[in-house]
Amino acid sequence: MPDRDNIQIGQILIDEGLITAEQLEAGLREQKKDSAFICTTLVKLGFLQEEKVFKVLSRHLNIPYSKLNEREIDPLIIQKVPAKFASHYKIIPIGFDGSSLLVAMTDPLDVRTLDDIRLLLGVEVRGVLASETEIMDAIRKYYGVGADTLEKIVSEKSAFEELRVQAQEVQDLETMAEDASIIKFVNQILSEAVKERATDIHLEPFQDELRVRFRIDGILYDINIPETIKYFHPAIVSRIKIMAALNIAERRLPQDGRIKVKVIDYELDLRVSTMPTIFGEAVQIRLLSSGMFLELEKLGLMPEDMKIIESVIKKPHGILFVTGPTGSGKSTTLYACLARINSSAVKIITIEDPVEYQLRGINQVQVNPQIGFTFAAALRHMLRHDPDVMMVGEVRDYETAEIAIRSALTGHFVFSTLHTNDAAGAITRLLDMNIEPFLVSSSLECLVAQRLVRVICPKCKVAVKAEARKEIFSQIKDIEFNPKKAGLYEGKGCEYCHFTGYRGRSAIYEILVVNEAIREMILARASSQQIKQKAVSQGMRTLRQNGLQKVFMGETTFTEVVRVTQQEELP
């Protein structure tokens, strides 16, 4: 767009009171760097809200404004414009007006772009105002992630034919993986995962498709990917393997690796795992933010639970176990505890598999079972370095458990994790490993079970209707809250939360403090159920009870708490 048009539009925005002359001047300086539409630049600088500015422009320029996230576009209309054109020009077709194809774009006054599109498609084209954010979201929604990249490869017939053949030679795999388009496509998948707040990426080959799924807030979602992706499966896997320094020639055995990348200004640590299946190698990528740092206050602990945890982690010796299934946030809780007590006066060493987050001032050790450097071996050597606090990523066997417990009895405080359903179950698990009851009772200080529940989306949060409230309360036998005053909410579902009603997660906890009464029960080899009942009688809240507190505080839903605590009976 010519400078005079940008200045003219800028003046309209000043006259409408949306920006100041100084902001327009700053916008024009920034706009010259990338030749973007002035309104897009002003939005990126934070001077304007997209919806407001486009409504004003629509009125002044007499050009329709389309809210793309509020409309469904016919797939037959989408097919009128190839994905590579849509991505290159940042446009998307939305329908016909007579013989003219209506195309949503941020700058409908850009005559050059309209002429290019008209020439490429061979039809009359008219521009309609839409925000760049919504256009790019629509391109991903209707064409699929990386559609422009795959379309480009398909258009280069010779390269496409090579990719359709399952390469057998290592040099073929290397050539395919280093193709610029394959590199770009893998980067697009990673960028999309970051935008969607995904914690995991799953690439799963089947007979006639390659499925890509993201885990978002603990739930797996299929990602819209062009069907032609199935032809690029070997190339994509090889590219990921090269990034993770894995052996691309080995396709018969599972492999694990790590990648450090920067995606959309985020420093990411990627844990990569490949697994051979009957239709090719499946890939799982765990996304970990290198800069992630959580404080205890941000974990979702109730004030009374926070006091318990703080008092326990400051003890000079003993063990704190965090229990729960994979992906329940155990490591995050342990890191937050370590960060709270970390100081120049305390020496902290961790043994992990793998090291997920790097903490300043803490000695972190990565185990390597392939060369015999196991948790148990690392623990023995760790004791020679005179630590005050130790963290063992996971207690998996008798040897590791015994050394950890004896360390706790000789003046060290130990943090670790176990895979059990509830807090009391950790005691039974240790006894099942043949650890003597007297060692367990004298070393344990606290057991914490946890789960992650999805949080109600703040954009579409509404009060639960009276009939639904009645149904929920009929399922709860004993609660501490007044049903009339309890706040029950749910998410209707909106664009912001991908119509799930949830966005983000918070933890719920079951904290069992090992006191004298519990120690006596451990020595008597009482069952985990008996220990749990005793702890509840002394004031411990179960996972579900803690979850119900968050339901009545309006943070999550009853359905969500029931989903993540299915092993418990309703209180």
Residue spans of alpha helices (H) in 225-322: 233-243, 303-313
pLDDT for 258-272, tens place per residue?
Answer: 888 887 777 788 889
What's the whole-model pTM score?
Answer: 0.75
pLDDT for 515-527, tens place per residue?
Answer: 999 999 999 999 9
Amino acid at 38: I
pLDDT-based confidence at residue 55 (cuts at 50, 70, 90): confident
Q: Is residue 350 within 8 Å of 363, Cβ to Cβ?
A: yes
From the list 54, 77, 48, the residue with the least C-alpha distance to 128 is 54
Strands (E), 24-117: 92-97, 100-105
Is 483's pLDDT higher than 60? no
Phi, psi (degrees; rounded to nearest 5) at 570: -65, 140
Quick one: pLDDT at residue 307? 93
pLDDT for 93-113, tens place per residue?
Answer: 888 888 888 888 887 777 888
Strand, helix or coil for residue 263:
strand
pLDDT for 363-374, tens place per residue?
Answer: 999 888 888 888
Is 484's pLDDT higher than 80? no
- The length of the chain is 571
d(CA 67, CA 75): 18
15 burial class (0-12, 13-18, 19+ CB within 10 angstroms)? exposed
Quick one: pLDDT at residue 471? 77
Mean pLDDT of the chain: 84
Quick one: pLDDT at residue 166? 47
Quick one: pLDDT at residue 165? 47
d(CA 43, CA 50): 6
pLDDT-based confidence at residue 439 (cuts at 50, 70, 90): very high
